[in-house]
Structure 1
Amino acid sequence: MSSIYSINKGVSQPIVFKGLKAQYIAYLAVGLVALLILFAILYVIGISVFIVLPLILLLGTGLFFLIFHLSDRFGTDGLMKFLAKRRLPSSIRFRSRNLFTSLNATTHSINPQIKKR
């Protein structure tokens, strides 16, 4: 007797749409909304459509190429890892060993009054 329910084998897989992976879909959507708002602002200000439209098309093309490049280069979590690694300091300097010498060996705390549970 077989089950009538099919098993969804892609439950833990990241979302992919037209080659874009995971969060890059949201980045592209936010960028397109920003371009739409920029177009509206420039049009309301009174700049000619013959100037605004090519500018928006050029920025939109650049946005698409940038987002697809980031998606291909870093994948689903690579961009977050890349940006996090850039924020790590190359070295940590300290001028005194007082903090480390004052640690109690049994409790591993600075204050010897605090008991380890």
Structure 2
Amino acid sequence: MSAIFQINKGVNRPMVFQGLQGQYIAWLAIGLVLLLVGFAVGYVSGLSVYVLLPLVLGLGAFLFWSVGWMSKRFGVHGMEKFLARRGLPNYLVFRSRRVFTGLRRFPSDNALVRRRAHD
């Protein structure tokens, strides 16, 4: 008797919802919650619904547009790379990662580990 197992083919793929990738889904959700709370606070404080509704709808449309634009421009991890590159000083120039990928961490530590293993 054989069992039929379903294969999950999307294990390492980023989460995608309506074209938004990765952390942009969370950013959109947080923005929508903040808009909801802002509307509730404005309504309770006595602001007119005719003022609040266009304001919240306009900010919501801008939120959807800006998060969708960032998701398309940067992708899943592109925003983090963009901000990291902007944080570097201008006098540091990296044309290749080969310098860093060829480095070994503490080569003398490996010798110590091997000596202790033989003792």
Deviant stretches of 4+, over 2 Å: none
Q: Give the SS at the match of 2:7.
A: coil
- Tell me which of the two structures has the higher relative contact order, counting C-alpha pairs closer than 8 angstroms and 6 or more residues apart: 2
The aligned residue for residue 48 of structure 1 is 48
Q: In structure 1, how many angstroms separate the alpha carbons of the residues matched to 2:18 and 2:11?
A: 19
Q: CA deviation at 1:3?
A: 5.5
The aligned residue for residue 58 of structure 1 is 58
The aligned residue for residue 28 of structure 1 is 28
- TM-score after normalising by structure 2: 0.73
Q: CA deviation at 1:6?
A: 2.2
Gaps of 5+ in 2: 93-110, 113-119
The aligned residue for residue 38 of structure 2 is 38
Note the alpha carbon deviations across 1:27-72, whole angstroms, 9 max, x for none.
0000000101110111111110000011000000000000000000
Which AA in structure 1 matches 2:14?
P
Q: How does 1:1-117 map onto structure 2 within 5 Å? A: 4-91=4-91
Which AA in structure 2 matches 1:62?
F
- TM-score after normalising by structure 1: 0.74
Which AA in structure 1 matches 2:48?
S
Q: CA deviation at 1:15?
A: 0.4
Instruction: State the number of aligned residues.
Output: 94
C-alpha RMSD over aligned residues: 1.8
Quick one: structure 1 residues 43 and 77, their matched pair in 2 at CA, closer, same or farther if it must change by over 3 Å? same
Gaps of 5+ in 1: 93-115
What's the % identity of the aligned pairs? Answer: 54
